[in-house]
Every structure is written in structure tokens, then in C-alpha cells.
Amino acid sequence: MENRLEKYAKLAVEVGINLKSGEGLAITTDYRGVPLAREAVKHAYRLGAKDVQIFYSDSMMTLSKYENASEEALAFFPKWQVDAICAMYEDDYHHLYILTPDPELLKDVPSDKVAAVQKKAAEAMSPAVRYRITGQTKWSIVAMPTQTWADSVFPDLPAEEALEKLWEKVAYAVRLDCEDPVEAWRAHDRALKKYRDYLNDASFEKLKLTAPGTALEITLAEGHNWMGGSKESFKGDAYVANIPTEEVFTTPHRMKVNGTVKATKPLSVNGKLIDHFGFEFKDGCVTDFYAGKGADVLKKLLENDEGACRLGEVALVPNHSPISDTDILFNNTLFDENASVHLALGRAYTYAMRDGNQMTPETLEEKGANNSLIHVDFMIGGPEMTIVAYSKDGSTVTLFDKGNWTF
């Protein structure tokens, strides 16, 4: 375990954040992520960090707030906290998030209450989020296996065995089992860039996605930019926002998505699971939806704001990847989205538009990029997925056949 934590922390700080000497690091985690956070602190200082700040939370205290706080308290979000984070980012700090998933922590809390609290937090934190989505601040998300997470993934195993098995699957998915995980990630990054560069050079106009329950046409935003693997900060430093990542993604046109789509994996949103769900789109907007589980959660999600019922991302992920090859459902979007082609409701990333970081929100919207307080990925891929790309002259290229790249 000590070796795992040391390798994981090195990967998170050196590849995820790509921390440079003289930069600061902020780490946000639940108390269960302390062992990994300690190793990350150690490695950050070895790399020359000027300072490391830790922000701790507690899942049971979060649940307690929902169960006991007044409506006024639930609606309150401290401005000083937003100001402090923005000031930290201005002072050249970068942000590592160590998730400790509990997929159904809030399953007994009314969905409208959860949605209202999350919307208020998103509104309050939007100035800080701007630093991350533009690349001014480097950031990365990793996940630390926990007992509650392991129990949700392997409910039929004894607790200790379930936790060990989850660690094994996570280690495989993030390439910790390689002799040199850092170099393995750099090689993987180069492979993703091959697909990214091909798609950007081709400059396709639209995609057609076909699978059981899915027949969706997505026109891409004007000036869309395909991204994959590492991103570049304002300083030109490469960082990996999600570990793991297997996707190459870009920006759909907010007004030009039509057809039906069926999710192929459950979705955990705000501590609640949504399963057996799908959508119908017309002129970019969700006009109908269904869900076998969590329909009320999905309804609140779509009502979050005007952009919540439109797409902000389309991501191509082969059916054969380290995550899908584990042959398990992680019950966590960070992992499950990287096992499958997926879409995202809500906000488009500015860096997934050419020169997007230099554009005003109004210009981005004119070009088709969606804006919203939310960005929620849901998985639609599988071994029967076909994706055909269309050029402006009407010629076509089959990108995916039977769930995987054709080249």
C-alpha cells in the first residue's frame, strides 16, 4: 500500500498537475484521502513547491448538513471562500482534487434540496471555476479507493476483499502497475494526441452516432477544437486534468443536436444514482427523457439553468481501454466516462474551441458553444457503437466501428 500511494501521488503531482519549482499547490480531499494527500505533499515539496495548502471535507458532515441545516443555511455560500480560492490562483497555486467516492451518500436526501444546494454552490464558485476552465490554473482529479466505494462496486465480496480488489482495478486503470507510471502516461498522452491531431486536421462538420437506442446527429460548433490527453496552461505547461483519461473530445453546436440517445452506464450525480436513462434532442435541446431510476434527479439536473438541457461536450473513447477492460462498473464518472463514448450536458470548455480562451461568452455562444453552471458527463458507448464523421463536402469517414477506432 505504501508503494501504491507513493507512485499514485507522484503521478498526480508530476503528470496531473505538472508542478514546477516555485509554484504553490492546493489539495482538496475528504478525510479518507489523507494517506494519498500526505504523499502528494511530500512529492510537491521535493519538486520545489513554494507552499502546499490542504482543504479537508467530511462526507458524513456533508450529509449532516443536508439533514439538519435550515433552508437559509443550505442556501448560504461564503463569499470569503470564493475570494480566497481566486486569490490563491492569482498567486500561482494549482489545484489537486483527491476524490473519495461514496456513490449514494445522499440517496435519502430529497432531490430538489440537493439540486438547489449544488446550484447555489456552482453559482458562487463560478469566478474560481473560470481560472480552471481557461487553463490559467492547472488542475487534476484523481480518486482514492474507499470502503463505501468498494462496497458499491463489489457488493457480494467481504469488505476487506472488496477494497483490495478495487485498489487493483484502480491501479490498472491509472497505469500504476506499470514499471514507470509517469513514463507510461507520457506515452499514452502521445497516443491520444495522434487522434486529436487527425480530427483537427480533418475539420469534420458533424458526427452521426448509432447504437441500440441511439441515433444521434451532432453538428460541431464553428471553430471547434479537439482535445485529448494533456492540456496546456497559460505558461505552456502540459497538465492532465483527469487521471485516468482515455478520451478525445470537442464542442457540439448547442443548437444543432438531433435524435435519440441511450445511456449505457449508470450516472452518479450529487450522491444519487441515475440508471436506465436516455434523451431525445431537437435543435440542440432535450425535449424528452426517461429513467428507470433517479428520474427526479435527472429532471432537476435538466432544469438547473437554460444551458443544462443542451450539450457541451462529445467525447470519443474506444470500447477497449484499460478501464473498460477491467470489465466492471466503477459507479464513478471519473472512471466510467473513460470506458465509453460519452456526452456532457451543460457547459462547454473554452479550450475545446479554437482561441476560445480569448473569446467573450457572447462570441462563444454565437459560434455554438454552450454555457451552463453544470457539466455532467453520461456514457453512451459500447461494443455496438458506430460513429461516422461528415465533411462539409458531404464525404464521410467511419471513425468507430464496433465500439473502437477504425485506425
Of residues 253, 3, 234, the one with CA closest to residue 132: 234
Report the relative pairing of strands 24-30 and 93-99 from DSSP bridges. Answer: parallel
Predicted confidence (pLDDT) at residue 262 exceeds the cutoff of 80: yes
Of residues 286, 284, 348, the one with CA closest to residue 315: 348
**CA–CA gap between residue 59 and residue 364 (Å, rounded):** 37
Where does 91-158 have alpha helices with state H? 111-134, 147-153
Predicted confidence (pLDDT) at residue 133 exceeds the cutoff of 90: no
Predicted confidence (pLDDT) at residue 242 exceeds the cutoff of 90: yes
* pTM for this predicted structure: 0.85
Position 317 scores a pLDDT of: 96
| Domain range summary for the chain, segments of one domain joined by + | 2-173, 203-236+243-405
Grid coordinates given for 222: 464553428
For domain 2-173, which CATH number applies: 3.40.50.261, 3.40.50.150, 3.30.1960.10, 3.40.1830.10? 3.40.1830.10
The whole-chain average pLDDT of the chain stands at 95
**CA–CA gap between residue 274 and residue 263 (Å, rounded):** 10
pLDDT digits 0-9 by tens, 78-96: 999 999 999 999 999 999 9
**CA–CA gap between residue 59 and residue 31 (Å, rounded):** 8
Predicted confidence (pLDDT) at residue 357 exceeds the cutoff of 90: no
Position 337 scores a pLDDT of: 85
- Which residues have a Cβ under 8 Å from the Cβ of 316 and sit 6 or more positions away? 195, 247, 248, 249, 341, 387, 399, 400, 405
Confidence of residue 135 (pLDDT cuts 50, 70, 90): confident
Please state which of the ranges 44-48, 215-219, 309-313, 332-336 shows the lowest mean pLDDT: 332-336
For the sheet with 24-30, list strands across it: 51-57, 24-30, 93-99, 139-143
Q: Cα 396–399–401 angle (5° rounding)?
A: 115
pLDDT digits 0-9 by tens, 282-331: 999 999 999 999 999 999 999 999 999 999 999 999 998 889 889 898 98
